[in-house]
A and B are shown apart, each in its own frame.
Chain A
Amino acid sequence: MSEENAKPEKAPDKEKEVKKKEEPQVPKYTGYDYDCFLAPQELLKAVTKLDHADFFLEDVSCVDMQEGFQVVYHFDRFSQPGRVVLRVMISRENPEIPSIYDIFPGAAWHERECFDFFGVRFTGHPNLIPLLLDPEHQGPPPLLKEETALKDLNQLYPDRVHTPVSPDSEEFVKEINNCSNQKSRNQS
């Protein structure tokens, strides 16, 4: 009873909470404790900061949308559980993003998977070859969507800020250090 009630009330940050009151359509539970957009060139800086804060990489995912590819990085922490998600938008014409292999070697396979399914090129990856698909696979990557089926950011993530956050900003550092799912649990 208590846990089920608490979960929908999970509010990653105050900003969202305010918005939720205005617009009840937003999903109540997101599973994210800190959620931010980043500029591609600042990804490595942010990931280094997460590495220093003892986070581990859960997965690297990608979403194909009108603005381009959104590469999604999920991080979590053993000592103080709380999920951080970094979202990086890159263009469809030139899908390039720095590889985080040097910081998290476990990202190597996740990035190869993204390369397989979306054709996103990770610069600096030591071994960017197909992982799950047949190396002789012809045609476009399988998870690309048709032009007509593409949705844009506002359709997929209504009512939220899409402006990139700087990993140097105090807010980012504070958020990742304090990031925890403890807050929502204690409410019950």
Chain B
Amino acid sequence: MNLDLRLDTSGDFYARKFQPTKREDTLILNMGPQHPSTHGVLRIILEIDGEYILRAEPVLGYIHRMHEKMAEVMSYPQYLPNPARTDYLHGLAWNWAHVAAVERLMGLEVPERAEYIRVITCELNRITSHLLWWGAYLLDLGAFTPIMYAFDDRERIQDILQRITGSRLTYCYYRFGGVSNDIDDRFIEETRKQCSRMKPRFKMFKDLVTDNFILRKRVEEIGEIPADTCRKYGATGPVLRGSGVPYDVRRAEPYSVYDRFDFNIPSYDTCDAMGRYLVRMDEMQESIKIIEQALDTLPEGDYIMPKAPKKPKPPAGDVYFALEGARGKIGFHLVSDGDKSPYRLKLRAPGFSNLSLFSEVSEGVLIADAVSILGSLDLVIP
């Protein structure tokens, strides 16, 4: 038994590899891996001078599950439940990316009704994701009440989704060639009711939080990310749109039936945390607009193609399918050798690229502001 209680100052592998600046009298501080503001298991090694951060190095992979390897040993339908587990807040988008990549590779034609159902459910899921982010971000900044309001709405949407998909968080709803369940009149009616309920709520959210003086002090002019930094790091989603680039995969590379709906792509060129905050708040309203339009024009027909392959064997080749998740661009690079399981599957997680610019942005900011920046990136650490 080691009774030497003197501090081991050498640290672990990452702490030893950490390259501090040449300054003296600085302190190395570990933030995380169980820090509440890091949302998941993320550890950040900080070199601080007083309250100011000189260098930050995120360390991740504490709960890496190697979904890419799992894909190689499982058949295509067996992998269906997996993608939603990579991003537990916007599971349907990942589920969609997986089935769509396989569909594209096989050249399957999804019935129109199924595409509409996918759009509706995916957008509902996007709202729940943004609502959770909103509540959790404000929790990081010290406001407790908003998460209660957020969860009120979130739970209602989850109830709606649960009736149809059977799950509340890790959805496994889409199938190759369609969806697993048809939606019924009650779903449509409840969704409409929820949409009209949400609209005045945004006004309330704005009064309560967005216009709040304290919040504005915490997010305005904090964590400025210029558009070119976003490009160099491959940041997408609200982070990019908060930097003034109106790039949205739903518009840039329209998949499914998104080109038929009229919606705006909110973007703010303030480049700060407030910009990213406002983008997400506006996006929820745009999602509601899309859902209402989709419900109005919902076509009749099959919810899954009549001869949907139960055990797909896509032809050899590769495909890259990208779609817009709540956190940014989700990419599936699927290489098939014509067998029943993928030869190689590469997942592009938007949070991965978004987080990698953190160490550049956080240089020279206060620790409290770094928490604000981390929250505004909306991370799901895989």
Residues from chain A with Cβ under 8 Å of B320 in the complex: 30-32, 74, 83, 85
Known: A106-B233, A132-B64. A63 touches B317 (CB 8 A): no
Q: Determine whether A4 belongs to the interface, using a CB cutoff of 8 Å to chain B.
A: yes
Contact B321 A27 (CB under 8 A): no
Please name the residue on chain B nearest to A114 by beta carbon.
B346
Known: A27-B104, A131-B61, A156-B316. A59 touches B337 (CB 8 A): no
Contact A29 B104 (CB under 8 A): yes
Contact B234 A142 (CB under 8 A): no
Residues from chain B with Cβ under 8 Å of A110 in the complex: 352
Q: Which of B255, B257, B353 is packed against the most chain A CB atoms within 10 Å?
A: B353
Residues from chain B with Cβ under 8 Å of A83 in the complex: 320, 322
Residues from chain A with Cβ under 8 Å of B105 in the complex: 27, 29
Q: Determine whether B144 belongs to the interface, using a CB cutoff of 8 Å to chain A.
A: no
Query: 1/0 per residue A144-163: CB within 8 Å of B?
Result: 00000001000111100000
Residues from chain A with Cβ under 8 Å of B69 in the complex: 142-143
CB distance from B332 to the nearest CB of A (A): 9
Other-chain contact of A108, B14, B66, B109, B356 (Cβ < 8 Å): B356
Chain B residues 63 to 103 lying within 8 A of chain A, measured CB to CB, are: 64, 66, 68-69, 72
Residues from chain A with Cβ under 8 Å of B360 in the complex: 105
Contact A151 B353 (CB under 8 A): no
Q: Determine whether B329 belongs to the interface, using a CB cutoff of 8 Å to chain A.
A: yes
Q: Determine whether A172 belongs to the interface, using a CB cutoff of 8 Å to chain B.
A: no
Residues from chain B with Cβ under 8 Å of A155 in the complex: 316, 337-338
Contact A29 B319 (CB under 8 A): yes
The CA-CA distance from A183 to B149 in the complex, in Å, is 45
Please name the residue on chain A nearest to B299 by beta carbon.
A1
Query: 1/0 per residue A53-91: CB within 8 Å of B?
Result: 010111101111000000010101010010101000000
Chain A residues 91 to 112 lying within 8 A of chain B, measured CB to CB, are: 104-106, 108-110
Other-chain contact of A31, B234, B252, B321 (Cβ < 8 Å): B321
Contact A27 B66 (CB under 8 A): no
Residues from chain A with Cβ under 8 Å of B223 in the complex: none
Contact B337 A151 (CB under 8 A): yes
Other-chain contact of B107, A28, A142, A143 (Cβ < 8 Å): A28
Q: Determine whether A187 belongs to the interface, using a CB cutoff of 8 Å to chain B.
A: no
Known: A64-B344, A74-B320. A59 touches B107 (CB 8 A): no
Known: A78-B247, A185-B254. A63 touches B335 (CB 8 A): yes
CB distance from A45 to the nearest CB of B (A): 18
Contact A156 B346 (CB under 8 A): no
Residues from chain B with Cβ under 8 Å of A139 in the complex: none
Contact B110 A4 (CB under 8 A): yes
The CA-CA distance from A143 to B50 in the complex, in Å, is 43
Known: A56-B232, A59-B348. A132 touches B61 (CB 8 A): yes
Chain B residues 312 to 362 lying within 8 A of chain A, measured CB to CB, are: 314-322, 329, 331, 333, 335-338, 343-344, 346, 348, 352-353, 356-357, 360
The CA-CA distance from A30 to B172 in the complex, in Å, is 25
Contact B348 A106 (CB under 8 A): no
Q: Determine whether B253 belongs to the interface, using a CB cutoff of 8 Å to chain A.
A: yes
Residues from chain A with Cβ under 8 Å of B256 in the complex: 3
Contact A156 B333 (CB under 8 A): no
Contact B13 A135 (CB under 8 A): yes
CB distance from A140 to the nearest CB of B (A): 12
Q: Determine whether B203 belongs to the interface, using a CB cutoff of 8 Å to chain A.
A: no
Known: A3-B256, A8-B107, A58-B348. A158 touches B317 (CB 8 A): yes
Residues from chain B with Cβ under 8 Å of A48 in the complex: none
Q: Determine whether B17 belongs to the interface, using a CB cutoff of 8 Å to chain A.
A: yes
Q: Determine whether A25 belongs to the interface, using a CB cutoff of 8 Å to chain B.
A: yes
Residues from chain B with Cβ under 8 Å of A78 in the complex: 231, 240, 245, 247, 252
Known: A27-B317, A131-B60. A54 touches B337 (CB 8 A): no
Contact B231 A56 (CB under 8 A): yes
Query: 1/0 per residue A19-44: CB within 8 Å of B?
Result: 00000011111111000000000000
The CA-CA distance from A143 to B345 in the complex, in Å, is 10
Chain B residues 9 to 64 lying within 8 A of chain A, measured CB to CB, are: 13-14, 17, 19, 60-61, 64
The CA-CA distance from A43 to B174 in the complex, in Å, is 38
The CA-CA distance from A112 to B374 in the complex, in Å, is 22
Q: List 18 A-B contacts (CB under 8 A).
A: A25-B315, A27-B107, A27-B314, A29-B319, A30-B318, A31-B321, A56-B230, A58-B234, A58-B348, A59-B234, A74-B320, A106-B234, A127-B17, A131-B61, A132-B61, A136-B13, A143-B68, A156-B337
Residues of A that sit less than 8 Å from B by CB: 1, 3-4, 7-8, 25-32, 54, 56-59, 61-64, 72, 74, 76, 78, 81, 83, 85, 104-106, 108-110, 117, 127, 129-136, 142-143, 151, 155-158, 181, 185
Residues of B that sit less than 8 Å from A by CB: 13-14, 17, 19, 60-61, 64, 66, 68-69, 72, 104-107, 109-110, 112, 115, 230-235, 240, 245, 247, 252-257, 259-260, 314-322, 329, 331, 333, 335-338, 343-344, 346, 348, 352-353, 356-357, 360
